[in-house]
Structure 1
Amino acid sequence: MNRSCANCLKTVVTHLHFLCWLCGAFVVALGIFQMIHSKFASLITTFWPIYPANTLVVTGTIVTCVCYLGVLGGMRENRCMLITFFVLLFILMLVELAMACVFLVYSREIDTYFEKDLMRSLEIYRQSRQEGNKTIKDDFDAVQHLFRCCGVHGAADWRGDVPISCCVEDPCNSVPHANWQEGCLVKLRNWFARNYLSTGAGVVTMFIIQFICLSITIPLFCHFSRRGLGYL
């Protein structure tokens, strides 16, 4: 490989690694944005490790750190950084594939835990005192108001003690008041499904970029080795 081709390959690799780094940073920012603007995590405690916002932040942080190694390795022509980048990114891609398989295989079990957690949160809301479990109360009220739903399966879940957040009118001043009859389980599940769809699309896009980065890193590393560049 002549010098001009090597310089061109180095430029392509560096820019691709930088693009991968930007994707990771964007994913982290999106995850933080979801954490700030969605207050449903306290209702679904079993589900929190695969909560969309948590998944985005963790995945994006790892990708950002790994791709930073690739950018530095390409710019400094450092074999140590490039091989470290290659190994870490390959492991990360395997983990992403494993996570995708887990979601596909255990999707029904996840739905079951989803329903159980919502029912548990509703019971805590019902049985707690006025000043207790304020986080769960506020989050459940926010869900019912935002999605225009009531209870988990319907207003009957509250057993006659329906909170004001179920009221159809806004503001709700009448007693008794009309309540939303549709449960929050289906609406919340659909909301999570849409979030995971966008998350999945982002992960697939990142996976493709990562695969291209791996494919181009190999010939660049071989070129550095033939030129006798060190690991410093």
Structure 2
Amino acid sequence: MAQGCLKCLKITMCAANFLCFMCGVAVLGFGVYMMVTFKIAALTPTLASFNLANMLLISGIVITCVSFLGFLGALKENRCLLLTFFLILFLLMLVELTAACLLLVYEGEIANWVNEDLINGLEKAKGKTGNSTEVMSDWDLVQVQFDCCGVRNKSDWGDKVPKSCCKSECETPEPKYRDKGCLTTLKTLFEENFLTTGISVIVLCIVEVLGMCFAMTLFCHISRSGLGYKL
């Protein structure tokens, strides 16, 4: 009976981790494709290194490495690998919960920081610092997609309001500009998706807890049966 449960647990853990590994490979491949195909910049100087392609690459690497560790540990019934898998999942869950708590506690400070960083990015886009071509294209894209203009309104652009701020043709005598600033639009978008983000974090934590329970249960079964790597 115990051997049957051990075999079922082993197969379940191998299948789940193999599925996660394939998802990680897909995310990693998509991140590489985006990095090679698209020339991605950022609206803000601070977030320049944290664009979508880089985040996909990092997420893909983490998912593939962790899932491969769990798959190999379950397949080989190796206690050392299973314990390492358990500890990494535990650390990842702590990091996610800590980030969520910090986001809630320092919501005001984060909003001010985002505001200042957007202003710096807009100043760069206006050509006051460095080459503004890439950043300007990003601002144009965001302003059209989110129906906004500048950080707070069109006055942030001064005398050189880009065409992406116009609701209609800018060549008209009195062009109609977009009313809302991009900071307000992004804040509203975050608030609307706050519940979805919270549920996603909770589901992710539940999956990680299940993975830790499976790993520790398999670890204990292997220990009692006298199999696996002797710690």
* TM-score (structure 1 length as normaliser): 0.79
Match of 1:120 in 2: 120
What 5-or-longer segments of structure 2 have no aligned partner? none
Match of 1:144 in 2: 143
C-alpha displacement at 1:178, in angstroms?
2.4
Give me the whole-angstrom Cα distance separating, in 1, the residues matched to 2:124 and 2:193: 27
Q: 1:119·1:152 contact (CA, 8 Å) conserved in 2? A: yes
Q: 2:44·2:120 contact (CA, 8 Å) conserved in 1? A: no
Match of 2:3 in 1: 3
Q: Secondary structure at the match of 1:66?
A: helix
Of stretches 41-50 and 109-118 in structure 1, the one that deviates more from structure 2 is 41-50
In structure 2, what residue type is equivalent to 1:123? E
Pair 1:166-2:130 in alignment: no
What 5-or-longer segments of structure 1 have no aligned partner? none
Pairing of 1:1-232 with structure 2 (within 5 A) = 2-21=2-21, 24=24, 42-47=42-47, 57-128=57-128, 132-169=131-168, 172-192=170-190, 198-231=196-229
RMSD of Structure 2 on Structure 1 (CA): 3.4
- Once the two structures are superposed, residues 92-133 of structure 1 have per-residue CA deviations (whole angstroms, 9 ceiling, x without a partner) of 22222212112112221111111112222222333549x931
In structure 2, what residue type is equivalent to 1:211? V
Q: 2:14·2:75 contact (CA, 8 Å) conserved in 1? A: yes
CA spacing shift, 1:88–1:220, aligned 2, 3 Å:
same
Q: 1:23·1:206 contact (CA, 8 Å) conserved in 2? A: no
Give me the whole-angstrom Cα distance separating, in 2, the residues matched to 1:181 and 1:225: 66
- Once the two structures are superposed, residues 54-97 of structure 1 have per-residue CA deviations (whole angstroms, 9 ceiling, x without a partner) of 55653453233112111111112222211221122222222222
Give me the whole-angstrom Cα distance separating, in 2, the residues matched to 1:198 and 1:30: 23
Give me the whole-angstrom Cα distance separating, in 1, the residues matched to 2:49 and 2:193: 15
Q: Secondary structure at the match of 2:5?
A: helix
CA spacing shift, 1:159–1:22, aligned 2, 3 Å:
same
Give me the whole-angstrom Cα distance separating, in 1, the residues matched to 2:83 and 2:180: 55
Q: Secondary structure at the match of 1:42?
A: coil
- Once the two structures are superposed, residues 197-221 of structure 1 have per-residue CA deviations (whole angstroms, 9 ceiling, x without a partner) of 6555433322211101111222211
Give me the whole-angstrom Cα distance separating, in 2, the residues matched to 1:218 and 1:183: 50
C-alpha displacement at 1:25, in angstroms?
5.0
CA spacing shift, 1:176–1:32, aligned 2, 3 Å:
farther
Of stretches 195-204 and 105-114 in structure 1, the one that deviates more from structure 2 is 195-204
Of stretches 209-218 and 49-58 in structure 1, the one that deviates more from structure 2 is 49-58
Of stretches 174-183 and 143-152 in structure 1, the one that deviates more from structure 2 is 174-183
Q: Secondary structure at the match of 1:165?
A: helix
